[in-house]
Structures are given as C-alpha cells and as structure tokens.
Amino acid sequence: MKVLVADKFEKAGLEGLAALGCEVINRAGVGTDKLGAALTETHPAVLVVRSTKVPAGVLEQAEGVKLIIRAGAGVDNIDVGAATARGIRVCNCPGMNAVAVAELTMGLLLCCDRRLPDQTAELRAGRWNKKEYGKTGAGGAKGLKGMTLGVIGVGAIGQEVIKRATAFGMRVVAWSRSITPQHVGALNAEFGGTDTPALLALAARADAISVHLPLTDTTKKLFNKTFFDAMKPGAYFINTSRGGVVDEAALRDAIAAKGLRAGLDVFEFQPAEAEAGFESPTAKCAGVYGTHHSGASTEQAQGAVAEETVRIVKVFKETGRFENCVNA
Ligand code: MLT
C-alpha cells in the first residue's frame, strides 16, 4: 500500500508505516500547488497531511486515493465535502495533541498577565524595568489565582485546559453547544450554558476567555464585536483553535478601546506553509501575544499523532475499516 506524506511527519511515524509494509513516499513540504501533480505521479492509496491544504482541485487529481489522514484534530484544511463526493474517506487524530495545546494556552494566559515577551524584549535591548513589570493595579499583573476563566468548547483540549486552569486556582466556567451541567460538574467546572445569550453572559463575567472550538459555518467569526463589547475591560482573550472563529478587526478595536489583551496561536489569513512572510495587523498589534500555530508542536504531541496515524493506516490495511472517520 502506498502512503504519500505531504507534511513534516515524525521519524517514528515514517518508520511505523514502513514497518506495516507500506511504501512511504515522503514529500514533506510539497505544498498545495504541487500536491495534485505528486498524487498523479505516485498514485497513493493513503494521503497524510498536517497543514497542507487539500482543496477540491487537488482531489480531482487524487485518482486511487481511498483515505486522507489529517495528522491532527481539525480537518478544515481539507475539502471534506469534495472528498466525500469522490468516495474518499477523511480520518483525523482527535485528542492526540490536546495536552500540548492546553500547555500553550496556559503559556499565553501567563503572557497576557505577566507580559513575558515584553519583559524579555526589554532585557534583550539592555534595559532593566522592574518599575513597569513589577507594578500592580492598572496595567500590572493581576495573577491567575482567583480569576474566572471561560472555557469555550469542552472537547479534549478544553478538558485539558480546565484541569490546568483549576490547578492554577482559577474558577472555570465552561460553555459549549452540547454540554450538560452533569458533564461539566464531572470536569470540576461550572456550567456556563449552551446558547448565544449564555456565551455573552460568560463574556461579561469572565476575567479571561479561552476558545477551543472547531471552525465550522456556525463558529465562523463567533467572536465578533458583540462578543468583545460584552467582555470586561482589561480581560484576556486566548485563541488556540482556528483564526476564522475571530473577527480580527473587532478584536483589534476592543484591544484599543478597552485594553483587552489577547494570546493568539492562530490567525485568519495565516500561511499554510511552515515558513513564509506574514504581515498581519493583528499579529503586530501591541496587546497581542502571538505564536505561530505551534500549539500542537511538541515532541510528546507529534509522537502521539504519528502513532495514531500509523494505527489508522494499520487498521485500514488489515481490515478496510476507517478509524476516526469524519465523513463516514
Ligand atoms: C489540530 O487541528 O490538531 C492542530 O491545529 C494541529 C496542528 O498544528 O497540526
């Protein structure tokens, strides 16, 4: 069975696929523009992608591909509808990188509160400034203990964030379209509701918000002017999910108008390539602490994703079954 790997993939995963008897074609970094040609040239049964986009045009050249595996959780870089129409199954690796994303979430919260990147930048510029970073009150660090954190989305990542935030002494209120008070109680969080009025009520009472939702038609720009207007002045907004869930212009306005701080691992128009120019007014905005969609990029998480990818291929090869299929 031929497996085409289109993005950087752990060595253990490549070896695991080879150990299954697969012919592994490693084309990490091929990019969307050349992916169709690579598929036509190599005729794989399985395509593995991480960040590379797989639009309908590429799928037209995917003759013989039976399975696309997203080496991660979100499948929004793949045109799942077009894959379904061509009889191609799309499978993902849910939960495998949840701990890594939750860890970055806590880091971004701490950046918002302690302004760690600003402190480092001043030290690197040869300046000692305890006057600024040691102050309390307006603009100073508040401390996470005792803060109310609204966790929006309670899948694998949201649940890992709840555990870590609770350990920091934060009061966690969880919101999701599909949770019940019982479910949330078992996670040691408070029930924050399931509808839009409840979401806005949570925005109004939270000291910090952390978003863990997939990008879908219903979550697109869910965090908009109305949401940011509802947030408390000086509150923190963290997004490690997808850039498309945020109206970035509205966020920038709220940062300027009411001193919100934001920790963002994802941006609406971020590059799909691993390295590229990126001129983003949001990423450049003072008050935004940004990272490079690297939430899932730890050795622990990528090892777990690679292992799950190999398992999905193994089950498909041996039984024809599609594990974690999102378009069954
Ligand atoms: C995911 O959807 O799991 C993350 O965005 C993963 C990644 O960066 O690969």
d(CA 122, CA 115): 11
| Separation of CA 296 and ligand 1 centre (Å) | 6
Length of the chain: 328
Give the count of beta carbons closer than 10 Å to the beta carbon of residue 254.
24
User: Which atom of ligand 1 is nearest the CA belonging to 297?
Assistant: 8
User: Please, what is the Cα angle at 26 between 20 and 30, to 5 degrees?
Assistant: 150
| Separation of CA 268 and ligand 1 centre (Å) | 15
* Whether residue 50 has its Cβ less than 6 Å from ligand 1: yes
* Whether residue 73 has its Cβ less than 6 Å from ligand 1: yes
Q: Whose CA is nearest to atom 4 of ligand 1?
A: 72
Taking only the tens of pLDDT, the chain with its 328 residues reads 999 999 999 999 999 999 999 999 999 999 999 999 999 999 999 999 999 999 999 999 999 999 999 999 999 999 999 999 999 999 999 999 999 999 999 999 999 999 999 999 999 999 999 999 999 998 999 999 999 999 999 999 999 999 999 999 999 999 999 999 999 999 999 999 999 999 999 999 999 999 999 999 999 999 999 999 999 999 999 999 999 999 999 999 999 999 999 999 999 999 988 899 999 999 999 999 999 999 999 999 999 999 999 999 999 999 999 999 999 8
| Separation of CA 101 and ligand 1 centre (Å) | 9
* Whether residue 293 has its Cβ less than 6 Å from ligand 1: yes
Ligand 1: residue of 97, 103, 219 to mutate (most ligand atoms within 8 A of CB) is: 97
Ligand 1: residue of 264, 293, 298, 326 to mutate (most ligand atoms within 8 A of CB) is: 293
| Separation of CA 75 and ligand 1 centre (Å) | 9
CB-based contacts of 325, cutoff 8 Å, min separation 6: 89, 90, 91
User: Please, what is the Cα angle at 55 between 105 and 217, to 5 degrees?
Assistant: 55
Backbone angles phi, psi at 170, to 5 degrees: -85, 150
User: Which atom of ligand 1 is nearest the CA belonging to 266?
Assistant: 5
* Whether residue 199 has its Cβ less than 6 Å from ligand 1: no
- Written as six digits, the tokens of 84 are 């379904």
pLDDT at position 328 is: 86
- Written as six digits, the tokens of 258 are 């009411």
Q: Judge if pTM exceeds 0.85.
A: yes
Domains assigned to the chain: 2-96+299-319 (3.40.50.720), 98-290 (3.40.50.720)
* Whether residue 74 has its Cβ less than 6 Å from ligand 1: yes
Backbone angles phi, psi at 133, to 5 degrees: -85, -10
